[in-house]
Structure 1
Amino acid sequence: MELNDSLIMFLLAGIILLIIIIWIFKNNHALRLTTYQIKNDKLPESFNQYRIIHLSDIHNIDYGDNNKIIMNQVIKGNPDCIVITGDLIDSRKTIPSISLKLILELIKISPIYYVTGNHESRLKIYDQFEKELRQVGVIVLRDEAILLEKNKQVIQIIGIDDPNFDRSKDRKIVPSVIVDNKLQKLKKDNLFILLLIHRPELFDVYVKNGIDIALTGHTHGGQIRIPFIGGIIAPSQGFFPKYDAGLFQKSGTNMIISRGIGDSSFPFRINDNPEVVLIVLNK
């Protein structure tokens, strides 16, 4: 019995759709380790070859099997510390236990420094979640700075809350002004400064304040990436964002934007692999 043309076309369309679904699923979970070598004369000699694993936008995603996929990439990076730049949990599908399970594995590898993202700013349970993070040893930085010491030499780590924490009280406050005021109060100009903050669209504020390295997230890499063009859309920037993913440099300031690990309202990535970022500091 011969198949008619319409049935053949229907079967071909089904096969093509199935291939696309499989490809998108694999793309969403094909976690990569992306490495950046950053050179800076201000870096103390003791921190030469210091290794930082940068995670962002995890959105309490569950990779299953005790997060083996994530842990393998982190272990491969052999970090001196791990930093998480916001959206560790998701405000739409909030499952704190998933994120805490990952944290309990990560804290066995190295110290963890964490700052909030816009999703944390929406959560009524955030205070309890932060308390649990601190109880297991995470260093939560909320508009504060600490000195990281190694062999009697120090660098400064600044962690800034997502601006939506302030804007929840007054929507007229401009995010760039919020962050600029906080950096002016916290930074020590004579030290190498590592800034942990969720938002990359405020890059010019980081440049103005002489930040050496800013580690950010928020964009999810633009969700759909077009070769030679970049990401299609990012929160707070809209279509074809200027700051979508990767390394940006200006006037001595380096900003690295993680594509993140999880997803939120738009659950698909196309040509946009999730990533674990490794930064190696060089004198």
Structure 2
Amino acid sequence: MRFTIFILVLLVIDFYSFQAVKLIVQDWSMLAKNIAYGFFWGLTAFSVFYLLAHNWGWADGWSKNMETYSRTVVFIIYISKFLIVPMLLIDDLRRLTMWVAQRVNGDPNFDISRSKFLSKMGVFFGAIPFFTLSYGILRNPYRYKLFQQTIGIKGLSPKLAGLKIVQISDIHSGSFTFKDPVKNAIDLINAQKPDLVFFTGDLVNDHADEMADYMDVFDKIEAKYGVYSVLGNHDYGDYHRWKNAEEKEANLENLKGIHKKLGWNLLMNEHRILDINDEKVAVIGVENYSALPQFPKMGRLADAHQGSDGANVRLLLSHDPSHWDVQIVPEFKDIHVTFSGHTHGFQFGVEIPGWIKWSPAQFMYKQWAGLYQQGEQFLYVNRGLGFLGYPGRVGILPEVTLIDLQPA
């Protein structure tokens, strides 16, 4: 019954938003009208078929890519149609007001026909997400961008000047729809000839075996002093319904083994002291720690930090950037740079260097992309290498970060 009601609600939205389309094309040729009508109702038919296929089990044998793109197309279709509706409601309110005035005044000259202008505005607003989200799928999911940042650290030894760190984050291998384009990210990473590579969590969406097809891709990452990694909130498998706690724990252990097979040093609330040019560099890694209640608080920074005394510079990997304000800055002022990810920049926004930097992510996270500084401490938030949910990006491209450390 609930499914039937849901379908009926969507069809009401379809018929209502179609009024705007019908008005706009009323002066077009018959052929053009038929094409417009066919396109509109063809999208509706596809959406209904998708929903019925899932409800009746027809979609059980669909491939991952077919499921991903079908779901996304339906999402885009109805986001677009929803945005047409407010303009039509405004128009109908205008028409109702004029009808009442006509009845009161008895003036037969009042025109209460639907406004073509408001219909055009509705279709215009609906077209924005339709074309931008479609473009984001077709053009941007594997359009890796190198972000370069120099960080000046007070007291950094001249022997460590120019230390190159590449950061990647939020791979979400279970969301990838194609394998070959991912190799471009590895080429971009290795082209920087990094001293260190940091991966700041969310290797998978839920299951460790999501990495099976990508082991021979990510094991090609090269760094002079090694690759270091931590877990993100998705890596714990909290968003999947497991048969029992043992199955969930086994999945996590498999994931830890994958880091090892990749040749990555997974840091579970611990650190490594590296000898680089006769100077000590502390690479500290914590499990996921978030200031937000819906995400895990597994990180034990005190344990990870203990024993890092004597290092010339301390670099922390912590998946969630909200960790920085609540614990790192107030309690661990000797941590020079924190590397985080998690936000993806919401995979949607506008970034024009020197002009604007906006994303819905900023309503949830104070630090959501790029470099931040408080006192002598720095935080870099990576925009993510992969994607989750929506298989694309609009305005916020997948990121490979190159950090160059210099004495301040």
TM over 0.5: yes
**TM superposition shift of 1:12:** 8.5
Q: Is the 8 A contact 1:29 1:274 kept in 2?
A: yes
Q: Is the 8 A contact 1:100 1:133 kept in 2?
A: no
**TM superposition shift of 1:9:** 4.1
Match of 1:111 in 2: 226
Q: Is the 8 A contact 1:196 1:216 kept in 2?
A: yes
Alignment of 1:146-165 (within 5 A): 146-163=272-289
Alignment of 1:114-263 (within 5 A): 114-122=229-237, 124=249, 125-163=251-289, 175=297, 179=300, 181-182=302-303, 185=306, 187-188=308-309, 191-204=312-325, 205-208=327-330, 209-210=332-333, 211-226=335-350, 228=356, 230-233=358-361, 239-263=363-387
**TM superposition shift of 1:185:** 3.6
**TM superposition shift of 1:195:** 0.2
Q: Is the 8 A contact 1:258 1:277 kept in 2?
A: yes
Structure 1 counterpart of 2:285, one-letter code:
G
2:217 is the counterpart of 1:102: yes
2:158 is the counterpart of 1:45: yes
- Relative to total residues, which structure has the larger strand share, 1 or 2? 1
Structure 2 counterpart of 1:194, one-letter code:
L
Q: Is the 8 A contact 2:145 2:398 kept in 1?
A: yes
2:144 is the counterpart of 1:31: yes
**TM superposition shift of 1:155:** 1.5
**TM superposition shift of 1:219:** 0.3
Secondary structure of the 1:215 match is strand
Match of 1:72 in 2: 187
Q: Per-residue displacement from partner, 1:99-144 (whole Å, max 9, x unpaired)?
A: 4222211147762111111111225412122124224422111100
Name which structure has the greater RCO, CA cutoff 8 Å, separation 6+.
1
Residue among 273, 277, 281 paired with 2:401: 277
Q: Distance in 2 between matches of 1:184 and 1:33?
A: 30
Normalization by structure 2: what TM-score? 0.59
Q: Is the 8 A contact 2:201 2:235 kept in 1?
A: yes
**TM superposition shift of 1:148:** 1.3
Q: 1:109 to 1:267 in 2, by over 3 A?
A: farther
Secondary structure of the 2:284 match is strand
Q: Is the 8 A contact 2:170 2:203 kept in 1?
A: yes
**TM superposition shift of 1:75:** 2.3
Q: Per-residue displacement from partner, 1:216-273 (whole Å, max 9, x unpaired)?
A: 0000012221453522138xxxx45322111111011110000001112343422111
2:17 is the counterpart of 1:7: no
Instruction: Count the aligned residue pairs.
Output: 271
Q: Is the 8 A contact 1:206 1:253 kept in 2?
A: no
Q: 1:240 to 1:120 in 2, by over 3 A?
A: closer
Normalization by structure 1: what TM-score? 0.82
Secondary structure of the 1:105 match is coil
- Once the two structures are overlaid, the 10-residue window that deviates more, 188-197 or 257-266, is 188-197
Q: Distance in 2 between matches of 1:97 and 1:53?
A: 24
Structure 1 counterpart of 2:381, one-letter code:
I
Q: Is the 8 A contact 2:317 2:340 kept in 1?
A: yes
Q: 1:29 to 1:11 in 2, by over 3 A?
A: farther
CA RMSD of aligned residues (A): 3.2
Q: Is the 8 A contact 2:190 2:221 kept in 1?
A: no
Q: Is the 8 A contact 1:223 1:232 kept in 2?
A: no
